[in-house]
Structure 1
Amino acid sequence: MRILVPLLTAVLALSASPADAHSRWTVCDGSCSFDVPPGDYEIEAVLTGQTGLDVEARRIALAPVETRPGQDVHRSVTVEVRTPEGMPSGEDGPGTPGLQIRLTGPSPHPARIAVTPRPRAPRIFVISDSTAADWTFLPKNGWAQALPEFFRAGPSVRNYAQSGASTVSYLADPRYFPRVRPMIRRGDTVLIQLAHNDKQTTEEVYRANLATLVDGVRAQGGAPVLVTPPVRHRFGPDGKLTPLGLVVNTLGVDLPAVMRDVARQQRIPLLDLTARSQELLEGLGESASWPLYLTTEHDGVQDATHLSRYGAEQFAALVVREMADAHLPLAHFLRPERL
């Protein structure tokens, strides 16, 4: 069921009681669309059953919450509305105007929803590649696509990760860093995770490109944070990840190690997703860790780089634990129950 709700007029609610029809709440049954312009918005939700929320290009705004019969749970989250909804290239289309919300979970019940503009919300920008991207269509998912579910209302996750992007292309293409940089405001946090597609980038160029990204964020008053890349599902016979799995490029450049050194030299925070995801995969083992990635059993396809929805949530959890351990200012917005 879809409903269109103008933000600045009375809320139109389907299947709502008379009291609901004259309040700021609308009843969302299945999916709903709010007629709002681009910007940051706080979503307040009253949930029952086993119900969560996805927004826009399948971003996970709220993980399903299981409630007891007759119990309501109130949750709030801040999200961005933009065009295109998904990756900044717009390769998967512009999406639908306004804010799209879809109920998720094993047994989603109708939810009461209220949407409020938050133009001064602190923002978390994500500069990355396909491993973090907002994938509009199944089955791929990026870890930053799951990041909103770990934050209570406050910061808005602005995911500008682009499939195929390297440090070279993200700087050069006008749709990427030249577009994102002017959006950054003083105090915004900018997560930079680019490595997977720097397959033939020399160490010298990679270092220089990371420094250019960091300098560009700082020039806007933002706070740059380097994030080492998630590992690939590439195991050797010893049960350990291979150099390819650990994102060593074809020139032999250990890209995560370079990123760690750049963070140390620049005196900026580093979130070591490489080390965290290596520990996770090697702890599970080759077979048991496949569900984190894309697998298609009927035709034998196994994607060792891109994540399932489950994997995106697990890797996002690793990122937020690193945020908490690094004592980033954003950490006080994290949901304690999701850590």
Structure 2
Amino acid sequence: MRTTLNRDERGVRRGAAVLLILAALAGTGAVRAEAATRALPAGCSGAAPIRCHYAVPPGEYDVTVSIGGAASAGRTEMWVEARRLMLPATSTAAGAGASYSFTVDVRQPEGQPTGQGGNGNPGLDLRFAGAAPQVSAVSVSPAPRPLVAYLAGDSTVCDQPAAPYTGWGQMITTAVRPGAAIANYGDSGESSGSYLSNSALFPALLAKVRTNDPVFIQLGHNDKQTSASAYRNNLTTMITRVRAKGGIPVLVTPPVRRLFDGNRLTATALHVNGVGVNLPAEMRSVGAAQGVPLIDLTARSKTLIESLGPSASAQLFLRSSVDGVTDNTHFSQYGATRIGDLLLQSIREQNLPLATYLR
């Protein structure tokens, strides 16, 4: 949601936002009275980036921010928790402001559920970065009953704690309107079997699923020695258990690796594993047999990567010259954004539960 505010409206919004923040922080420590008049909202400090912290328990929260409004032009992007992008770099003219709203999932640990890369800070963390970040108001309140879209996946999906590694689940958050939140339970190194059995992963996710919440399941990168029957059984078990909770399972075939033979991707890139199992084909078969919606991210990413070719496609992955590491499986921020866009396109085309909440 975006609205342009005049100077008086900005003053009213700023005052109201500070009051909401003070209410949200009641009982978490003394807040000085002069916080209402200082340049940054209560709970925020720094300049580039500006960091804000709110001591709220795990759950879903509606967050509204006002950016700009300073004497100079601004260029601001907003990240939450473990590098989830909510607002791409956005320009504001000198003396102008804009307001944006989101629904944010807060959990602990805030990044990968098994704590890989660290547990982060309890509560809600916001970070305003960019060439000239500006924030004039922040309000935080519990979301009454949002749709929560759960992501069950591996390192190509998860909230990667440190750049340059980026999961597509960290980038699709920019497209989601308030009233829906992305709960990313992706975790590095997980196969379909390990994800299903680890109490911090599928069982933890399943415990939170409510009626009509979609659960997007993308596993396969690490099923390198998994048999066809085991892979199918693992996926079917997840589908059955999500449905038993009233959730809506959605299968997502894994995006390709960047491994070329000439101008075409290899069988390994297309997830034919070490024991000859074509994992995307098995997932398609399970989806058809179970009547489950399926997003064919393998096919869509294959088309994208092969259209770019061996050279240009490198920018979607990690390059030694830019990132300090060469990695043809994991995405750069740009690559995660492009792959996430393919997923969002499929959600819209199939009118999946999250579709009505996409910008």
Alignment correspondent of 1:18: 37
Alignment correspondent of 2:283: 259
Q: 2:333 aligns with which of 279, 284, 309?
A: 309
| CA deviations over 1:129-187 (Å, ceiling 9, x no partner) | 00001111222110001121111111111100110111110112222112221111111
CA contact (8 A) 2:43 2:53 kept: no
Alpha-carbon separation, structure 1, partners of 2:80 and 2:140: 12
Q: Structure 2: which amino acid aligns with 1:149?
A: T
Q: Structure 2: which amino acid aligns with 1:275?
A: A
Alpha-carbon separation, structure 2, partners of 1:13 and 1:290: 51
Aligned residue pairs total: 330
Q: Does 1:63 align with 2:82?
A: no
Alignment correspondent of 2:124: 99
Structure 1 pair 8–32 and aligned structure 2 pair: CA distance change class (3 A): closer
Structure 1's consecutive aligned runs of 4 or more residues displaced over 4 angstroms after TM superposition are 10-17, 24-29
Alignment correspondent of 2:71: none
Alignment correspondent of 2:209: 184
Unaligned ranges ≥5, structure 2: 1-20, 69-73
Which of the two has greater helix per residue?
A: 2
Q: 2:249 aligns with which of 217, 220, 224?
A: 224
| CA deviations over 1:211-234 (Å, ceiling 9, x no partner) | 001001001110000011111011
Unaligned ranges ≥5, structure 1: none
Alignment correspondent of 1:113: 138
Alpha-carbon separation, structure 2, partners of 1:142 and 1:13: 39
Q: 2:61 aligns with which of 5, 28, 41?
A: 41
How big is the alpha-carbon RMSD for the aligned residues of Structure 1 and Structure 2? Answer: 2.6
Q: Show the 5 A alignment for 1:79-98.
A: 79-98=104-123
Q: Does 1:248 align with 2:272?
A: yes
- The Cα of 1:310 is off from its aligned counterpart by 1.4
Alignment correspondent of 1:32: 52
Structure 1 pair 299–31 and aligned structure 2 pair: CA distance change class (3 A): closer
Alpha-carbon separation, structure 2, partners of 1:180 and 1:101: 23
Structure 1 pair 271–253 and aligned structure 2 pair: CA distance change class (3 A): same
Alignment correspondent of 2:302: 278
TM-score (norm 1): 0.90
Q: Structure 2: which amino acid aligns with 1:150?
A: A
* Percent of aligned positions that are identical: 43
CA contact (8 A) 1:79 1:148 kept: no
Structure 1 pair 103–177 and aligned structure 2 pair: CA distance change class (3 A): same
CA contact (8 A) 1:151 1:333 kept: yes
Q: Does 1:7 align with 2:24?
A: yes
TM-score (norm 2): 0.85
Q: Does 1:77 align with 2:97?
A: no
In our comparison, the structure showing a higher alpha carbon Rg is 2
CA contact (8 A) 1:27 1:112 kept: no
Alpha-carbon separation, structure 1, partners of 2:233 and 2:312: 38
- The Cα of 1:235 is off from its aligned counterpart by 1.0
- The Cα of 1:316 is off from its aligned counterpart by 1.0
